[in-house]
Structure 1
Amino acid sequence: MSDIDAAAGRYTTIAGEHRSELEIKRSRFITVLRRTETEEQARALVAELRREFHDARHHCSAFVLGPGREVQRSNDDGEPSGTAGLPMLEALTKRETFGGATDLSDITAVTVRYFGGILLGAGGLVRAYSESVSSAVATARFVRRRRMQLYGIAAGHSAAGRLENDLRAAGVSVLGTDYSASGAQLRVALPDTADALATFHSRLAAMTAGASDPVPLGTKWIDLD
């Protein structure tokens, strides 16, 4: 992830789980990608696939975790050192996403290999595992994530609907509206940047004639699409 992306609080992951398969010189390479946010989830996927493909010779893995890709691990699982896990990890970390960014994270790749009887050699293994993960990522659906600042905005019952429409029309992400006997509270999410927050406060003041003072509710990573 570039310094600009990290400062802006955004990165890319994948939607759910995705699978693909390649055959290279009779060996089958089955790659499973899954969105994961912790090492426990990543290792759980490896364990699941060991059970599912219990008769396979190798279950090689790589994962990248965290908004800033702080955690990166790989495992050759019996293949010659450096010929499986590391190429898989590089296929994840060097993959370009939206706008050419290299910011793919919160993802685990496991490549299951069924040996086909033909030795590939060290170079052949590196290419095979790299291609297997690259092919899987190329057909997975990307999801952009952004760190957002959450705010609550108090409004009367009669004004809540109009205010929500005005905020949406202004490009503000409205997460929902909670109603109670005393009134309503709109929950909104804004990019966690000084410019975005200043613009929001100015627009809200204009929409409500200064009557609504937003209450900070903390920050949260949110899927944009």
Structure 2
Amino acid sequence: MTRTLVAETQLDTVVKKSLFRVHARPIAEEAEAGAFFERVRVPDATHNCWAWRIGGRYRSFDDGEPGGTAGRPILQAIDSQEFDQVAVIVVRWFGGIKLGAGGLVRAYGGAAASCLKQGEAVEIVPMQRLACHVPFSLLPIIQARLAEWGATQDECAFDAQGAALTLSAPLSASEMIRMSLQDLLRGGPVRVLDPEDSAQAAL
């Protein structure tokens, strides 16, 4: 079960006199991760190490720590708890005692994991977008069915004959919803939008 955070969360932990401050939050795109890191990083801290994952895309950064001892363990903490669409930054203030490569891996990975565990999480449900044209008489009926289907209305553009609807439907129920719409529309076309137009949404 892939999950994401509901909201931003923070945790402080001390390892051999070094303070590790973790910030984690849900993200939808890489630009959000960059803006988040820029907002919470502390320029005067010894290191600001981070990682993020969005589906098959991910990045990590050691910020001066030995290669693979900070960013990668943070990413591993994200993956090991089956999180996605999440960004985590760990700010370290050096306390005067060197931790060694293994100690750094445990400190960064452990701090990130603890922060993610304390945050409220929600399952990520794969969604598919459907598009159809609906006459005015059927629009309120379809809108009333959305909650029952677990779907949401993304767009509703009116014209002289009715409305062009774009819906986000759970992938597992998409075919059932598409057939239900076709029944209501008496065979009217219901298009499945291209995969690049589909999204994952947290429900």
Name 2:68's counterpart in structure 1: 82
- Measured against aligned partners, the alpha-carbon deviations of 1:15-36 in whole angstroms (never above 9, x if no partner) come to 3532211122222100112333
Q: Per the alignment, do residues 81 and 216 of structure 1 end up closer, same or farther by CA in structure 2, a change over 3 Å counting?
A: closer
Q: Superposition RMSD on alpha carbons, in Å?
A: 2.9
Gap runs ≥5 in structure 2: none
Q: Per the alignment, do residues 184 and 18 of structure 1 end up closer, same or farther by CA in structure 2, a change over 3 Å counting?
A: same
Name 2:80's counterpart in structure 1: 94
Q: Per the alignment, do residues 42 and 189 of structure 1 end up closer, same or farther by CA in structure 2, a change over 3 Å counting?
A: closer
Q: Per the alignment, do residues 49 and 182 of structure 1 end up closer, same or farther by CA in structure 2, a change over 3 Å counting?
A: same
Name 1:152's counterpart in structure 2: 132
Q: Is residue 182–residue 190 contact of structure 2 (8 Å, CA) maintained in 1?
A: no
Task: Count residues with an aligned counterpart.
Answer: 199
Name 1:140's counterpart in structure 2: 119
- Counterpart mapping for 1:73-222 below 5 A: 73-95=59-81, 102=82, 104-143=83-122, 144-156=124-136, 158-166=137-145, 168-169=147-148, 171=149, 173-175=151-153, 177-192=156-171, 196-197=174-175, 199-208=176-185, 210=186, 212-218=188-194, 219-222=197-200
Gap runs ≥5 in structure 1: 6-10, 96-101
Q: Per the alignment, do residues 150 and 85 of structure 1 end up closer, same or farther by CA in structure 2, a change over 3 Å counting?
A: same
Aligned residues: percent identity?
A: 29
Q: Per the alignment, do residues 160 and 24 of structure 1 end up closer, same or farther by CA in structure 2, a change over 3 Å counting?
A: same
Question: What secondary structure, in the 3-state scheme, does the structure 2 residue paired with 1:110 have?
Answer: strand
Q: Distance in 2 between the 1:216 and 1:79 partners?
A: 47
Q: Per the alignment, do residues 90 and 214 of structure 1 end up closer, same or farther by CA in structure 2, a change over 3 Å counting?
A: same
Q: Distance in 1 between the 2:147 and 2:187 partners?
A: 19
Name 1:60's counterpart in structure 2: 49
Name 2:19's counterpart in structure 1: 28
Q: Is residue 127–residue 168 contact of structure 2 (8 Å, CA) maintained in 1?
A: no
| Alpha-carbon distance, 1:133 to partner | 0.3
Q: Per the alignment, do residues 147 and 211 of structure 1 end up closer, same or farther by CA in structure 2, a change over 3 Å counting?
A: closer
Q: Per the alignment, do residues 222 and 61 of structure 1 end up closer, same or farther by CA in structure 2, a change over 3 Å counting?
A: closer
| Alpha-carbon distance, 1:178 to partner | 4.3
What TM-score does the superposition give when structure 2 sets the normalisation length? Answer: 0.79
Q: Distance in 2 between the 1:75 and 1:215 partners?
A: 42
Pick from 48, 51, 56 the counterpart of residue 39 of structure 2: 48
Q: Per the alignment, do residues 217 and 81 of structure 1 end up closer, same or farther by CA in structure 2, a change over 3 Å counting?
A: closer
Q: Per the alignment, do residues 39 and 151 of structure 1 end up closer, same or farther by CA in structure 2, a change over 3 Å counting?
A: closer
Name 1:98's counterpart in structure 2: none
Q: Is residue 155–residue 186 contact of structure 1 (8 Å, CA) maintained in 2?
A: no
**Partner amino acid, structure 1, of 2:162:** G
**Partner amino acid, structure 2, of 1:151:** A
Q: Distance in 2 between the 1:207 and 1:222 partners?
A: 26
| Alpha-carbon distance, 1:57 to partner | 0.7
